[in-house]
Structure 1
Amino acid sequence: MIKLATIETISQFEGQDVTINGWLFNKRSSGKIHFLQLRDGTGFIQGVVVKNEVDEEVFEVCKKLTQESSLQVTGLVQKDDRAKSGFEILVKSVKPVQIAQEGYPISLKEHGTDFLMENRHLWMRSPKQNAILRIRDEINLAIRMFFHDRGFVLVEPPIITPSSCEGTTELFEIDYFGENAFLSQTGQLYAEAAAMAFGKVYSFGPTFRAEKSKTRKHLNEFWMVEPEMAYVDFEGNLEVQEQMIEYIVQRVLENKQIELKILDRDTAYLEKIKAPFPRITYTEAVNMLQEGNYEFQWGDDFGAPHETFIAEKFKKPVFITHFPTKMKAFYMQPDPENPEVILGADLIAPEGYGEIIGGSERIHDLEFLLKRIEDEKLPTELYEWYIDLRRYGSVPHSGFGLGLERTVAWICGIDHIRQTIPFARTLNRVYP
């Protein structure tokens, strides 16, 4: 009986006849041979149809196949060192499921970005886009496994919230049955509540920022993983972050070599990603920029050129620690030895990909938190539940947020974050 196989597992079937359920990505012919570029959602492989080795009907069917026709292909799996998959299929039969209409929008020529994003529902079928999203899936799984294996509990914070978590005005406001509400920009405050119940937790879900940004590093809807840990201080927080990044990168290197090859990713950079990571203070970073002839003052926020300049000094991700307190959110714990800076850090990825993690130790003192809320002129009544966490069993605790799409962009080595999510939501795009 012929076995049903996937391209991803094709190496297990060398020398055997298999059937693949998939689609025709491309086709070329030379009189007596059809070369079928097949895809099945798990990978891409070439099927070779030799006229003298198949029924005449099979060869004629292959002539009629159009780009993206769905089909079932049966044939012999044989080794081919030239192929990225390492194998090809010597086709014996082809059964069309549907002959696709002529004029498939994404032909095999160059297309502009706007056109490709307009046809994102089809563009993701192409090898590079497919590889990016399969690596995203691996990173997603790695994150969940990392936390699960270390005793973290997954919690799901609400997407609709009554207030800003970070004190900004860049929120999507909605009418919630006659009341003002917002799409969440972070699940952090809710994760803090869960940490006081479970000790170690993480949330993982979509977040929304109404920033009118057009940079290659910004989306208006993106995914964040946000762990919170009771009885963990600033140093312990950094250790979890670097261990997680090492774990993610090494899993991708282990499990997604074919996808990385499709993307022409230089994995030499990724192979160096092992904990611990270098650390510099914000003040040291400012001095570094000034010595590099940047007009940058203490208290300024880093832009993309600044982060890139700093990252180029290191071969691994680098922590920038102890930012000015006035720059950061109200809940971040100031350094007891220097209250002008916080016990927090941003993790900057190499190769110009910028910040991928932001985190800190959280304020756990009730009176000090109340003062920070007052200083920021936040509506206390909307934060009563959050303040309760300091009234009833408060402990030192820490957490961070990692942007999934920025991490995918860095590991894949791609130019723009819009390619890292199945359907991007940007300043000028909400379709498809």
Structure 2
Amino acid sequence: MKITISQSPKNEGQTVTIGAWLANKRSSGKIAFLQLRDGTGFMQAVVAKSDVSEETFQLAKSMSQESSMYITGKIVEDTRSAFGYEMQVSDIELINEAIDYPITPKEHGTEFLMDHRHLWLRSKRQHAVMKIRNEIIRATYEYFNENEYVKIDPPVLTGSSAEGTTELFHTKYFDEEAYLSQSGQLYMEAAAMAFGKVFSFGPTFRAEKSKTRRHLIEFWMIEPEMSFVDHAESLEIQEQYVSFVAQSVLTNCKLELDVLERDTSKLEMIKAPFPRISYDDAVTLLKEKGFDDIEWGEDFGSPHETAIAEHFDKPVFITNYPAAIKSFYMKPDPERSDVVLCADLIAPEGYGEIIGGSQRIDDLELMTKRFEEHGLAGEAYNWYLELSKYGSVPHSGFGLGLERTVAWLSGVDHVRETIPFPRLLNRLYP
């Protein structure tokens, strides 16, 4: 019977065959210990000379790292390992012997590992990060499907910019100018007017020449938009969603969090509601913490976000930023026209902003004025302006950056480890 490593607990006492790669090994006299991986997990296989043919034992001792095999044996309990089970081997069939595998158990530099990203993904640490990423994606679909959202896929090639910035990748679309999408939001607003509650999940691109540990050139965004939902209701949805995802990772990725030595007590605290602090109060707090150079009307940088987050033991919403530093589509506060109904969700432990969201403008006259102020008049935006013209309603939305969220929940230092093949300022390979 052929099984996977992850199915081993259900097959205790059975003799099974697993297709696997050799992650590492050690031998001592008449016994060899093989560390196996098969994509679903890692497990030790014990090859005793007395239990196998001489040929099989010599194969076990001589096989090189990352060689592939079919390995047969009995699944037994192993209380010493985190996985809890191991295989007592009876036979090995070598499929392919890997010669001179470049990533050995010794230490390697980051650039070397990034050059060999296609192989680095096989390591136990990278496997754990990718499994956590997968769980965040799975939990995202579960949350939005259970709450009656419809998944809509916005285009990657667009004729306009969602944020009205110049940090865009230009391309030719036959005889027209086009851009790689930096957000699906505008299209999701259109979808929300058709389906009520929608979400997208897809790649976005920012031509931002940044080298920080929080930035990627290509990254993935989860972007819900909701009709008949105001700013306060949106904040509640955001904190419920983030809490759901965090608790799903805690429940379903125990082994992976253990591999990464993640302090899970920090994750156990991620439960709604989250604290809120206004931009005004955040500026005051920063000045009290020694940031004398920050002035009202300036955007916060990473040190500012970290200092604010350290004041709380959960993710924190910074609300009501100045209108002048936020996007054209954000609805002004009815009681203060100089600030908008928006919020950034700042993760603890120095991971920075993971969500940006707002209530959107639903008034045609104001939206037209915003278009003029931001120089967005033109045919490329006519369709978006029509959303305010034909049956507009109060509506809100937000975008969560997947890679920053993976970094935060898994506890890794740099977002380059949170996406299978990162695109950085100076990296387009592999």
Sort the TM-score into its range (normalised by shorter chain). Answer: over 0.9
1:255: Cα distance to partner?
0.7
For each residue in 1:55-94, what CA deviation from the matched residue of structure 2 results, as whole angstroms up to 9, or x when unmatched?
Answer: 1121022133111000011111111122121111111111
Q: Distance in 1 between matches of 2:4 and 2:305?
A: 42
* 1:38–1:46 Cα contact (<8 Å) kept: yes
| Number of equivalent positions | 429
Counterpart of 2:132? Answer: 135
CA RMSD of aligned residues (A): 0.8
| Higher mean C-alpha deviation, range 208-217 or range 175-184 | 175-184
| Higher mean C-alpha deviation, range 91-100 or range 350-359 | 91-100
Q: Distance in 2 between matches of 1:244 and 1:124?
A: 28
Q: Distance in 2 between matches of 1:391 and 1:162?
A: 21
For each residue in 1:97-140, what CA deviation from the matched residue of structure 2 results, as whole angstroms up to 9, or x when unmatched?
Answer: 11112x10101110011110110000000000011001101100
> Is residue 145 of structure 2 the alignment partner of residue 148 of structure 1?
yes
Q: In the alignment, residue 360 of structure 1 is paired with which amino acid?
A: S
> Is residue 325 of structure 2 the alignment partner of residue 320 of structure 1?
no
Secondary structure of the residue aligned to 2:420 is: coil
> Is residue 302 of structure 2 the alignment partner of residue 304 of structure 1?
yes
| Higher mean C-alpha deviation, range 311-320 or range 58-67 | 58-67
Counterpart of 2:183? Answer: 186
Secondary structure of the residue aligned to 1:385 is: helix
> Is residue 349 of structure 2 the alignment partner of residue 347 of structure 1?
no
1:53: Cα distance to partner?
1.6
Counterpart of 2:14? Answer: 16
Q: Distance in 1 between matches of 2:131 and 2:202?
A: 18
1:381: Cα distance to partner?
2.2
> Is residue 214 of structure 2 the alignment partner of residue 211 of structure 1?
no
Q: Distance in 1 between matches of 2:207 and 2:251?
A: 37
Q: Structure 1 regions of 5+ residues with no counterpart?
A: none
Q: Distance in 2 between matches of 1:46 and 1:199?
A: 50
Counterpart of 2:411? Answer: 413
1:376: Cα distance to partner?
0.9
Counterpart of 2:36? Answer: 38
For each residue in 1:279-324, what CA deviation from the matched residue of structure 2 results, as whole angstroms up to 9, or x when unmatched?
Answer: 0001111000001110211111111111111111111100000000
Counterpart of 2:167? Answer: 170
Identity %: 60
Secondary structure of the residue aligned to 2:82 is: coil
Q: Distance in 1 between matches of 2:195 and 2:56?
A: 61
Secondary structure of the residue aligned to 2:224 is: strand
Q: Distance in 2 between matches of 1:301 and 1:394?
A: 30
Q: Distance in 2 between matches of 1:277 and 1:10?
A: 40
Secondary structure of the residue aligned to 2:281 is: helix
Q: Structure 2 regions of 5+ residues with no counterpart?
A: none
Q: What is the 5 A alignment of 1:323-334?
A: 323-334=321-332
Q: Distance in 1 between matches of 2:363 and 2:132?
A: 41
Q: Distance in 2 between matches of 1:57 and 1:351?
A: 53
| Higher mean C-alpha deviation, range 331-340 or range 27-36 | 27-36
Secondary structure of the residue aligned to 1:268 is: helix
Give the TM-score taking structure 1 as reference length: 0.98
Secondary structure of the residue aligned to 2:183 is: coil
For each residue in 1:235-259, what CA deviation from the matched residue of structure 2 results, as whole angstroms up to 9, or x when unmatched?
Answer: 1100110000010011111111011
For each residue in 1:373-398, what CA deviation from the matched residue of structure 2 results, as whole angstroms up to 9, or x when unmatched?
Answer: 10111233211000111111010100
Q: In the alignment, residue 236 of structure 2 is paired with which amino acid?
A: E
Give the TM-score taking structure 2 as reference length: 0.99
Q: Distance in 1 between matches of 2:210 and 2:258?
A: 31
Secondary structure of the residue aligned to 2:303 is: helix
1:262: Cα distance to partner?
0.6
Counterpart of 1:223? Answer: 220
* 1:373–1:380 Cα contact (<8 Å) kept: no
Counterpart of 1:284? Answer: 281
Secondary structure of the residue aligned to 2:95 is: strand
Counterpart of 2:84? Answer: 86
Secondary structure of the residue aligned to 1:431 is: coil
